[in-house]
Amino acid sequence: MRLLLPIFIIIQLIFGCSNNQHQQTETLKTEVVDSMVAVVNDTSFLKFITTPPVKTWEPDSADWKLIDKILRKADSEGIFDFLKKPTLQSMKRYYRQYAFYINDEGQRIVYINALCEILQYPEETAKGIIWQKDDWKNTINLVLDGGPCYWQVKINLTEQDYFDFSVNGEA
């Protein structure tokens, strides 16, 4: 966990530490924070969890620290108890997709979608069927079922709390 914070800070310094709020009308470039974390600016997905027009924002290094603090709070309150080893370190072994948006009350929200594995799907080509991995770095992956391999949580940075935590069911 201590290694992730310097990585976040370095990336923020490279890409600029702004906290700009702006209306988003198209998909922006995805920022890959590390091999397990991607900031996905997929506004086509965000319209399902907030009222259009979708407004997004860009986190700065202080925001990443606050996200980590709120996740530690969630961990201490037991929301990750479904994991075999319910610790923040276990949670961070998941691929995590982050989306940042402004809700109807003007509050800064972080949507985290976690996946224990990247799914593959069949694609028919001239050479036959090949298996392709989902583009998890650019598109929010919604998986039905799958149990504790997939979970989601929202963080309200304005109120410094988490909400809408859910773990996928099993078929």
Tell me the pLDDT tens digit for each residue of 40-69: 977 788 888 888 888 999 999 999 999 999
Q: How many distinct structural domains can be found in the chain? A: 1
Distance CA 45, CA 97 (A): 12
For CA atoms 123, 32, 18, 109, give the dihedral sign.
Answer: positive
What is the number of residues in the chain? 171
Confidence of residue 146 (pLDDT cuts 50, 70, 90): confident
14 occurs within a structural domain: no
Contact of 136 with 97, CB cutoff 8 Å: yes
Burial class (CB within 10 angstroms; exposed 0-12, middle 13-18, buried 19+) of 68: middle
From 12-16, 27-31, 60-64, 158-162, the region with the lowest mean pLDDT: 12-16
Domain holding 71, by residue range, is 4-9+21-167
Q: Does 148 map to a domain? A: yes
- Amino acid identity of residue 2, one-letter, is R
Asked if pLDDT for residue 164 goes beyond 80, the answer is yes
Q: Specify which of 31-35, 47-51, 150-154 reaches the highest per-range mean pLDDT.
A: 150-154
pLDDT per residue as tens digits for the range 109-140: 999 999 988 888 888 989 899 998 888 888 88
User: What's the whole-number mean pLDDT along residues 79-95?
Assistant: 70
The pTM of this model reads: 0.74
- Residue 16 resides in a domain: no
Q: Is residue 137 part of a domain?
A: yes
The reply to whether 15 falls in a domain is no
Asked if residue 108 has pLDDT above 90, the reply is: yes
